[in-house]
Structure 1
């Protein structure tokens, strides 16, 4: 959909109708906003975009601006609209199967659920409904996925007695799944702690895992046959070699100990089988997988999933076909060949087997091995005790040796398990009922920063943030009653990383999730407390980051509103003075004209008054232009369109020429100006360098303008401009002030093609430091904090006393940054201020052409419009005598045509006029340049507007150059071509380049003064002269 024209906008506004641009902002338009604009709403209940009500448009704009995933249900059928953050929730239904559809078509599976019932509740009562962690199913990663979300349904009154609904939501899938998995691990640990022996271990394992229908869709458990265990290792202490272990696996017998989620008499699941049969029934690499000792992923996709299980492998939680399973050997110790069983567990078909899932499986695998090891250790001890009892009557010494050996091995086994827990990635702890730390692994100490060895009851309270002690008291009381707990709290340890997001360092308070359960005595009293911690500091920081960004956006909006108010005031305020001065001039001249006679006279006071009125008008016009220029420059900076063009220039002379523009203003304000070239400049022998003189002079003129404004009313009125140079970045001592540091993550826009030459050699690079010191009113510390910021001035009354938009110093800072420099200020209230900046430049040879030598003057003329001059500009013009010539003014605006003709005639030109390009071409054909001869009209130069009806200036210029090329026009009077100067209000560089490409000799931008126009006309005449 195309953006509507201005006429369509006005019509829509007056008629109360909507256009596409009413959705989203008028600036950057995201793909989703464009999708909303282009959607075929006419085919929905909402109707065409043009018929949308203001209430609907406001709610859609609120929806688009909301950073949360949010939907909007509107109309009788509850047509669904949603923002860009909602797309991941929509999944592959976006956009065709969801956007713009009624609720029962967009979400058919939730009809009749509490989510759907919330609509009727909101419609009947007007109250919102909220639920936490509701289960939904979405397809957003190529498979049907379970998703949990906390949502709200907020009723909104709409037109026609209908009720609309706003639906913000937050995804909580990771939290819910993590809680479910942790609950499974805790439940498994509790059940396994009740196992009496190895046989009971497998029963307790099934009991602990069968409640998790999602992560345990089906389960098979095979244990090594008891005959194998006895024949393999009757003493339980030998450690076979890898080759022996592989041979042992191949000869082992496995017995089915139990299954979950599969038919009881499944024909494809034998009750007993050896390793060779397991290779054929389950996985070809079965023996190697057992020897490796780590879980192996079996998948239908790669053919490793047991084909015999495919018909029966259904999810208990969802009924879906399981496409993946895990083969997990149960190895209680690190001894080769000590595989006591294996399990085959299905993978949740509605969750991806990602890092979190793998970590859960690893913890499950480790818990099974650890628990079985403990049981086997007990059995081993019992078996050893029986052997020792049988041998006690025969050899007491041998029994003592065996007991000693047994104790040593038990200690080693315990040490191995302790090391395993020490290196676990999740912080784990074990307390007694008094809160004494009995055990904590390395991850726990690292996260909490608890002193090692400094343990006493509840000593770990010292690592908890003081504000969360009441919360910890409540949760500790629950543990004292034997209840499991799961809660969030803060630690005293600061959260610090080396990462940056959006220019902000990721750091703050450490947040954790604590999960703990109790081991109770037979009487029900708490004996031990065990649990684990999860670091969620980054997630909490991200939530705070979003909140801060929202507050910053609101503050920026407030600053922009203040800026628009101030700019509107500053732009409109001079209009009153312009109107009054124009009325005064008209009234005075009317009074003089009413006097009898052709020769009228007036007193000197009248002429001085009119000159003062004209001076006021010029000052006000320059003030308005300065504000417009600042806004345009800011717009280019924000859009990245401001280019830096490096040319050859002599900095000392460029600064001197810029200061000459202030002579009249300094004289009028009675301010003395000193220009000092520091010895460092001469010591480095700086002559010609490459930089952008227009941008450097723009910053200098901004500083100097402010210095004059803030100094002219002081008793001492002195300004000193100093130019320094250095090879290195100017130091604080050399500059005499501190520079403002810019955000290192901000990347400046690219410069023009000559930019790479600027900083290509460290030896040729120099730093130019320019400072402006004044004896003005100075600044306080609070006022200095606001300098160089967007839409900010030193104080709220600054623009009332001195004017300005609050953008000058901000723009100056950006211009300096684009040239590899920095900006700074030093000031004392009541004593004056020093503003300084430095830029990078590169030494270069002197330019070869005279045109290049005048680049400094051209650059300074581009910023000269920032200077307000006084006096009649025509007085300065008439002081220099130019060669009289015939000039054709081509201008469609009759007022501008008449004013320019009179002013040029006063300057000595013989002026003819044309209303558009076609009339100008006819005039040229009747001029002395026409080859056909007979032309009587004199013509030396053309001043032509670009934008005109019938034929614009660019087309006319092309015709003139084509006529010259074809010989229809022949150069006369010592010129190589008819000189044409373009006049345009388009100040952009590419638009001026288009005028030159069309055949214009030069371009003058509106508004301009005669003191600027006439020298440009004479320069163009000289350039086309055959003598030159």
Structure 2
């Protein structure tokens, strides 16, 4: 006999339940009956333990088979035994599908259970009872069920439940099918986990409560079944309507169930067990299938559209539950008399206005406020919530539209309950479906369908609605097709007849015209083409195909306008499409130029490659109705013309750029040469004035000059030397640049001691270093001594030129810094330096120049690389500024020239000279210092055998006075003689040697600039009595403000003007000039001022900006009278002078000039302004 786990899978839950039942029960099934056998044969599938304990077990099974055959006639189905008491009255049957469950009706004597160790085996069944004792392996549902508050229900706590109740609950919870148990007089409801989805929101509040409250909405239909179960009857119900509140609304549901009575130990009814099966889908699908069958049957009989719509409405009216209401409109075309003939084409009818006309309604009256009789239809989207606006949207889109009261799209007039339809509930969703006879055609009708309020719109319901609409559309197509075919055939016959007549007349003309056109196109030097309105090519001559670089087959394979767009250059595609739009939509002729992609042609003049340019001229052919029928035009190859235009534009641009660079070059170097020349002339005048003032005979060999006069003369001489050196640098740069451009620069090698050469450069600029108060150092790196470098062979003049360029740059940019230091480092190596030692990367050589040398091969021994680094504490450089360095006529920024001057050639020439000597140059900036590093290739000098080595100088560093290290101090300069002094400082442990250059204290100190932080500006004002008092001539002394950023020019001009009897004030730039004016008599103050000498090129604020601000303040009244201003500038071009006058200058004086000539001019200007 099989156990509960060995029975078929669909009986395991029942077997598990019966294994706990004390009533003897067995499950049997009947085998296929032999036609010759008059009785069924029964097979036992399962017997519970209580049955197996019966005395005479085999006889009981035979009695059951006999009772089954006596109780069930041979022609009756098995279900007829359900709930019946079998023949003999000892057994009762329950039927589940193909199985019969036979339960003992009366007490049957059982075999006593065997006893082992004093304990009956039947007591082990309590081990499965999780109701009385908790188990760790319970499912989540069983845990929930066990923890439920049963004490608050009529059932009481679980510990008080009877054994029968526990057995039924345990069996029900293990059943995989939905099961309900109604227990006791209070009809308390208990259910398993599979019932929860059917109850929806009622779970878990209905658990343990009266079943009437759980199914209150359908209690009247349920109560007979419950009462039958309590009465001991077995009752089966199929497709029982049981609405359930789930998915947020009261849903139409149907269930099939079998009600089994529950009997206690005394044989009394104590409840009902219900086996549930939901059959909602079966019921609704069958109902809707019937509706569609009826619709299909009726539609097959129709032959006219006018008969179709009433039939549809009638079938929808019969579907009371699934169609609460419906509204049907037909689409009418407003055909006027002029187009009402039979030959009116479908295209012309499609363009006519249309409107929707009401055919009928279902569930709604014809005068319902939400159902208009008719309304116009248009392609534009309607705004609003009325039903006609929604119908218009569905008609224009051709797609179903869903309206819902939840999102506000369903008009309130249609969100209603229709009596006796749709369960009498309010409709919440409606659909609007356009009815199309054929795909792509315009809708014939519009159907508004209110949906079943108790059904979800999805799944089977949506399929029903879709199939319903499809059946309707196909019926309309079948009805309409013959009429359209007849009409189309008549139109075709008329057209064919007319065309046949015209064809005979025009064929000959067309053939002649085509022949003439082809002859003309073949000999034409231009390309000719013809397209239809859609972009399909019709014709192209050979010249056109050749210009487009396309074969005739490829040309004719083009399907639309984008076919040619693929051959147009990417940058011209948008313009090509715009031209096409102009012809097809704007219907205008065009002229345009395009490049082909990416075909290139070689220019025959210079062999370079250029784009293929085509010029197109085309126009559209317009029909009488305004439509474009074709487009024709001509192509011309203009590649050579475009190439010549491009070449001409490039040459013009080059010429303009050369002109601009030439003008900038002339302006820059004119300014740089004139500026020091003015200081030279004024210093010479100063010397002449000083010598004249002492009134000593110049021919006296023992003439004694007063100390103060001698100091002034020496100061003027130093100024002249300094300015002459500056001019020499400018001229040398120009000469070197000219030689570089002409490849005439000659490298002349000679033997030299490199430290001596660097010291020479420092000595040359001793005066400038001293004036700027810069601390200069020479550093000999350990690598130089490790290689024992002494005399080397290289071009010392070119090396010195590079060192001077970098040194003067450092002086120029360091003199305005708070910390003023310059250090030059010298190193050597056998390998090519990388720059990492000084933290830089050398720039790559621009071009390879061949150096010219008077000798074939430089004399000397092994090759060496000499590396130089110039450190300074100047203002530093940004990344963008460093990118501009080493380029011709380029400085770090536009402000560099204004503030520091220079030609922009120094670093460019330095780069070229380094590369000519086999080296490179680079720059780095950071941590408050800038370093320029370069290296050159040299050879170690080896004396020849003819030379007397003993006659060579002893290799003592800086042996000559000209190259000896100099220590600058306030008292002047001294030359060190011993070795320790030559090195400047003792040798450090790491081998570095430092040479310190301390500038002496000069008589002139640069005054404080107005740009200094946290300090008030200081103006140097001299009240020294002039050697020639102008008051002797009865003239009033001039009070002059010199605004000049060049300290040398500022100093020399101040001295000369003071000697001319003027009271002098100085300022470094335009901002200090404006601040001084505020403290003068021009702004109601006490400091007198007669005239202003204003330079143009200055930092902070230039002269032109300053004079404009002065004149603006005069106009505003903050300066009470006109201030005489003379521009003093080295910019001598007429345009520059005119710009200065237009900006507001009274006069312009160009450098160089002499003070004796300037003073009368100032006096005249003051007199004119004062008068």
Common fold by TM > 0.5:
no
User: TM-score by structure 2 length?
Assistant: 0.31
Between structure 1 and structure 2, the one with the greater Rg is: 2
User: TM-score by structure 1 length?
Assistant: 0.34
